[in-house]
A and B are shown apart, each in its own frame.
Chain A
């Protein structure tokens, strides 16, 4: 079953075409990678899909519904979550709050119920518990579960920026998972990780796919990770899709090799 489909999406910034007529199809349960040299337009493609940019041309479908031009909060609500290449955590907030906040979109209590619930004393809970407090308890339990999953439960009260780089990436993933996504987009999850963390990453991504029944779309420069993990790979170069296929096909594709290494004169 197709989960995400893009139909000839194009992004132009003034005279520059960052991505041209990109066609993508991701099936449920797959792990798909998007690779290409620096400046190929990978993050731009991510930004179009997640609603940060509105594509100049083309359409995007998620779960067979058109999502082109929707705001990113709306797209997240429909079951798509992402991480960022340059890590965008809520820096001054605690690790726990970072994950807690990502549950907010599913909160049913309205503003008044939330404020009222917060003022309600704990020792009266036995008589009657406000709706918000019940919800908050569920959110906290879920947040603890997610933090445990990524191994950050012990650091839950620390400031997000106090974590080492590799853990900040994991916190970003936990935060994205808290929105209950069907599709998770990871923008260079291995960037800045040390070799051991990189090795663990492949297993970790597979693990969360199993645990949360996810489909994963990722941008990555670390070829070992990409070849190890992906079911299929798309290759972008100067905004144009130059190849598509399974890891074996991509490794042996002449155009891909040229794009990465440059064309030699006598080839």
Chain B
């Protein structure tokens, strides 16, 4: 990276830190919750975009990876007492009952376990293409959910986990978000990331240029799952309670919505879209709830929020096929070129 760009990037991060410091002290818990969710959805969006947008694999298994991360992190951070209280139907399996570790370790293990699961799933399914891959990954994600519903002494079955310590705060979520962003940008600009894009563009040509398709697909899938697991872990410890029903296909759909709206194959697009969609979905909750203005009362209609959002998705897909950013990115160099270019110079508009 160039010196100027590094300085600019670091100043931006510093500004963000200043903002978080301010927000942490002055925002109410509802606003903080939304900000946390936005950052977590950036992580989730980036991880899915790596698999779907940059490598061109149509994977619909994100909810499954998130579930693995969320459950692992939650189980590793809950205190033995709260575990005993939560598992009242059937006691928790022995080794898990007394383990409690720092949030960072738990989060990392959640990501690693999710990556491992992705490796196991990827070995058979990544030989499939297109729609078949989509439906197989969706199938695996559902299988994970069904297993979690039925393993009473590990996951507490359909009741889920409660009193998960609320470790996720703005520092954790935004810190992880920045980390994910930096790693993703480095990855997609590296030779490996270019190989991923080559696979997206043309598998046969990529293989003929010596790229081991299967190995690189597994790589992308596993890295994506790692960050999805971490995102899931942050989410679980933000909400304080998780259950298998949270990890249905609709969760994958939410993340898919973000990357499609932002642009498949654009990091910048994902970040913007994660903030817009997540806060939008939260603020639109008013559609589902009743509003009482004193003199007049609007009845909320459950489900209207998702109707609005699916309509939005359809409109974007049909009329703005490439989403907000397409595969374009924001970069400091581009930013400066935009201001430096002169209208009549040879290299200017349209280059």
Contacts and interface: CB of A to CB of B under 8 A. Distances in A.
* A complexed with B: yes
A154 to B, nearest CB: 11
Interface stretch (A55-63, A94-102, A229-237): A94-102
B183 interface: yes
A111 B183 CA distance: 11
Contacts of A123: 3, 6
A88 B204 CA distance: 8
Interface string A74-103: 101100011010001111110001001111
Nearest to A113: B190
Contacts, number: 121
B108 to A, nearest CB: 15
Contact of B212 (A73, A102, A178): A73
Contact of B187 (A100, A109, A118, A179): A118
A52 B204 CA distance: 8
Nearest to B214: A71
Dominant secondary structure at the B interface:
helix
Contacts of A119: 1, 182-183, 186
B205 A90 contact: yes
Interface in B1-36: 1-3, 6
A132 interface: yes
A262 B186 CA distance: 60
Contacts of A103: 191
Interface in A133-186: 135-136, 139, 157, 175-176, 178-179
A179 B210 contact: yes
Chain A contact residues, majority secondary structure: helix
Interface stretch (B136-144, B192-200, B282-290): B192-200
B12 to A, nearest CB: 15
B82 interface: no
Interface in A32-51: 50
Contacts of A107: 191
A90 B210 contact: no
Contact of B191 (A77, A114, A120): A114
A118 B184 CA distance: 10
A76 B209 contact: yes
B251 interface: no
A261 B314 CA distance: 56
A115 interface: yes
A114 B208 contact: no
Interface string B201-222: 1101111111111000001000
B189 interface: yes
Given A81-B208, A90-B202, A121-B3, A101 B195 contact: yes
Nearest to B182: A119
A69 interface: no
A222 interface: no
Interface residues of B, number: 32
Contacts of B192: 104, 111, 114-115
B187 A97 contact: no
Contacts of A102: 209-210
- Range, interface on chain A: 35 or more
A65 B208 CA distance: 19
A136 B213 CA distance: 21
Nearest to B212: A73
A100 B191 CA distance: 8
Given A104-B211, A114-B192, A179-B210, A90 B197 contact: yes
Contacts of A77: 210
B92 to A, nearest CB: 35
A102 B3 CA distance: 29
Contacts of B2: 122
A75 B219 CA distance: 21
A51 to B, nearest CB: 8
Contacts of A29: none
Contacts of A50: 208
Contacts of A81: 208-209
Contacts of B6: 121, 123
A241 interface: no
A72 B191 contact: no
Interface of B: 1-3, 6, 182-183, 185-187, 189-192, 194-195, 197-198, 201-202, 204-213, 219, 327, 351
Closest 3 pairs between A and B when the two form their complex, measured CB to CB: A105-B210, A118-B186, A76-B210
Given A88-B202, A122-B3, 12 more contacts: A50-B208, A71-B207, A72-B204, A72-B207, A73-B212, A81-B209, A89-B202, A92-B201, A93-B197, A104-B194, A104-B195, A104-B209
20 contacts: A50-B208, A71-B212, A73-B208, A74-B212, A84-B205, A89-B202, A91-B201, A100-B191, A101-B197, A102-B209, A104-B191, A104-B194, A104-B209, A111-B192, A115-B183, A115-B192, A116-B186, A118-B189, A139-B191, A175-B209
